[in-house]
Structure 1
Amino acid sequence: MDTAKNQRILTLVWAPSETRTANYARQLNSPLYFIHYLLYKRPWIAPFKYLLQAAKTFQVLFKNRPRVVYVTNPPVFAPLCVLVYCKLTGAQFVMDTHPPSLYADRWRWSVPLQRFVSRFAMMNVTDQERFKALFESWGAKALVLENPPKTPQFNAVKNEEHADRFKVAVVNTFAVDEPLDIILEAAKKLPDAHFYITGDKGLAKPGVIENAPDNVSFTGYLRGDDYWNLLNNARAVMVLTTYPYSLLGGAQDSVSLHVPIILSDQPVLREYFTSGTVFVENTTEGIVQGVRHMIENEEQLKREVTELRQIHRDKWEHNFQQLLTLIEAVK
């Protein structure tokens, strides 16, 4: 028997990379396919690349013929393709939905499609109780799985640059919900701190990088060791959002490294990050006060974030076992 073409489970995501899905694929001992063509996050070419990605998805699925497919949403067309495959073969699928697809303006048009697809999934995975309740109100099955605290494996390199300043790593992607402008204004008022801001510099608005204060460095988009070393060398990690229900992966990565966090004061973040965290208003003065509070209470916050990591590790292992049991029951 050709076992390569009779895999029990297969994981796929329509993106060039995606940390959450990659981690779950490892936990599930599943082959992982990143299916993506053309430019990333460019809405005007989406119809063209979605056609290419749909064709590739069907090729991968019918070649490997998995009994269970773990698929990430958005975009909703990825699980739609998986649904078609499952209807034709009798396979089943798990849809892992990232919450912004349920409330962000750019995905609002797709919510009816998500509701439709979710009812056919053997399980819908989301990272918050409020969205689990939403799926269940649609008549779909749902399970809460937050991102688990990671144990990142990387070649640690000490960065002695700006050793006399309080280093803040800002996990940023130049997305619409990230208030970068107020971070730059706050940096001007915090000369004793240095801010390392991530993200593809090609996505920055004109003049943002050129006019940034001297205590700000734009790192570009970081992966692997470069990303983990940035966070590991920081004395605090900052991740801000204007979305009320976005559970920020960069903040969870910081917990994995026992580095305290500065976060926007949003409902879901308060629920998850119950210690080791400074919450700030999305204002210049709010950030300034938050960084100063972090500097003054650094040691206590470091102890707290270590305890927080273990709490979420225990919770995640319990919930993940429920998903694993469900998948293993598929014949």
Structure 2
Amino acid sequence: MGTIATIAWVSYHRRTELLAEHLGSTLHFVSAGRQGDLLRLPWRYLVQTRRTWSILVRERPDVILVQNPPIFLALVVWAFCRSHGGGYVIDSHTGAFVSPGWARTLWLHRLLSHSALTTLVHNVHQEDIVARWGCPHFLLAYTPGDFSVSEPVSLGNGFNVAVISSFREDEPTDAVFLAAHRCPDVQFYFTGNPHILGTEVLAQKPKNCHLLGYLPYRRYVGLLRAADAVMTLTTRDHTLLMGGFETLSIGKPLITSDWPVLRDYFYLGTAHVHNTPADIAEGVRAVQADHAKLQRDILTLRDIRDEEWRQKIEEIRSVMWQGTTSG
């Protein structure tokens, strides 16, 4: 069996790290400058291209797994495979399909997916898109992780909810704050950098909402383990949340948004809520009232998803090596 290199143009991404671990791949997070700085974007891509090419020349992998977005990383890897041989797999995240900026590059995504060994997609909506392109594709949602190593976190008495958050625009943070007003006996612990929140949103935060800031990963896992339930919400349809996968791996009841893809995937041990204060509060109360059953159900779902994963990772390996040997 040959070698695999995994490349992502970000400073860190847990799913990509887990995929590399499961595939026995080398892992390279190639970052440069500050994300979001559009004026320096051409410079950043140039630096990342040179670093990526240098890594690939040094390792000469048989298969390269690339995280998308940005799709331009896949373009660089396509060029490398054309000149040096080997094949590549595109791991296309939700943003590659639905974010306004990346949606404008779907024509390039389609061309590169035609040449790829396969394109990994996260849900059936994305699978339908790549299937219509006539490109090889593989649906891989849940990526299990080993969360046995963590830093103990002590929470207060009563019912505690960990809220996985980055405070981005697709998260209904204001609605969660207002929902917390309706659940004064419940403590809500938010991850993520709160400094990006506007003053109007922060003004709605009640005393039972605790902003913990960005947590080191061991402490983050400790928080999820210490909580009675975990909440991760999105206002964006067709999105499977990594926080949901982490919650499933740890085995905690989940509160997540009531989108079809999330309802279909997390169909046990989960309260699905509309992104409104009243519905979020009702979901918290439902988990609080039926906690023991939801705890058992989420463990059952984890067993089901773990078995699916074991089958899927073997199929991915087969696709990779069949593609390189036939090419």
TM, length-normalised to structure 1: 0.93
Q: Residue 313 of structure 1 corresponds to which residue in structure 2?
A: 306
Q: Residue 138 of structure 2 corresponds to which residue in structure 1?
A: 143
Q: 1:323 aligns with which of 303, 313, 316?
A: 316
Greater Cα offset, 69-78 or 35-44: 35-44
The whole-number CA distance in structure 2 between the counterparts of 1:135 and 1:151 is 31
The whole-number CA distance in structure 1 between the counterparts of 2:204 and 2:281 is 19
Q: 2:239 aligns with which of 239, 243, 246?
A: 246
Cα RMSD after superposing both structures: 1.6
The whole-number CA distance in structure 2 between the counterparts of 1:262 and 1:313 is 20
The whole-number CA distance in structure 2 between the counterparts of 1:309 and 1:29 is 23
Describe the superposition over 1:74-111 as per-residue Cα deviations: whole angstroms up to 9, x where unpaired: 01111111011011112100000002210122322221
Match status 1:280 vs 2:273: yes
Classify the secondary structure of the residue corresponding to 1:140. Answer: coil
Instruction: Identify unmatched segments of 5+ residues in structure 1.
Output: 1-6
Aligned residue runs from structure 1 range 161-200, under 5 A: 161-163=155-157, 165-200=158-193
The whole-number CA distance in structure 1 between the counterparts of 2:198 and 2:54 is 38
Distance 1:87 1:319, change over 3 A: same
Aligned residue runs from structure 1 range 43-192, under 5 A: 43-159=38-154, 161-163=155-157, 165-192=158-185
The whole-number CA distance in structure 2 between the counterparts of 1:47 and 1:211 is 39
Greater Cα offset, 199-208 or 304-313: 199-208
Classify the secondary structure of the residue corresponding to 2:152. Answer: coil
TM, length-normalised to structure 2: 0.94
> CA offset at residue 328 of structure 1?
3.1
The whole-number CA distance in structure 2 between the counterparts of 1:44 and 1:235 is 44
> CA offset at residue 209 of structure 1?
4.2
> CA offset at residue 208 of structure 1?
3.9
The whole-number CA distance in structure 1 between the counterparts of 2:81 and 2:195 is 39
Distance 1:67 1:221, change over 3 A: same
Describe the superposition over 1:238-286 as per-residue Cα deviations: whole angstroms up to 9, x where unpaired: 1111111110110111111110011110010011001100011110101
Classify the secondary structure of the residue corresponding to 1:16. Answer: coil
**Corresponding letter in the other structure for 1:202:** H
| Contact preservation (8 Å) 2:3, 2:63 | yes
The whole-number CA distance in structure 1 between the counterparts of 2:109 and 2:163 is 32
Describe the superposition over 1:194-219 as per-residue Cα deviations: whole angstroms up to 9, x where unpaired: 11111123332245446521111111
The whole-number CA distance in structure 1 between the counterparts of 2:109 and 2:299 is 37
Distance 1:200 1:47, change over 3 A: farther
| Contact preservation (8 Å) 1:186, 1:287 | yes
| Contact preservation (8 Å) 1:209, 1:218 | no
The whole-number CA distance in structure 2 between the counterparts of 1:232 and 1:313 is 19
Aligned residue runs from structure 1 range 223-302, under 5 A: 223-302=216-295
The whole-number CA distance in structure 2 between the counterparts of 1:319 and 1:13 is 22
The whole-number CA distance in structure 2 between the counterparts of 1:63 and 1:278 is 48
Describe the superposition over 1:168-189 as per-residue Cα deviations: whole angstroms up to 9, x where unpaired: 1111112221111100111112
Greater Cα offset, 197-206 or 316-325: 197-206
| Contact preservation (8 Å) 2:174, 2:204 | no
> CA offset at residue 166 of structure 1?
1.2
Classify the secondary structure of the residue corresponding to 1:60. Answer: helix
> CA offset at residue 67 of structure 1?
1.4
**Corresponding letter in the other structure for 2:114:** R
Which structure exhibits the higher relative contact order, with contacts defined as CA atoms closer than 8 Å and separated by 6 or more residues? 2
The whole-number CA distance in structure 2 between the counterparts of 1:206 and 1:55 is 41
The whole-number CA distance in structure 1 between the counterparts of 2:199 and 2:42 is 27
The whole-number CA distance in structure 2 between the counterparts of 1:208 and 1:281 is 19
- How many positions carry a matched residue from both structures? 323
Greater Cα offset, 287-296 or 204-213: 204-213
| Contact preservation (8 Å) 1:149, 1:309 | no
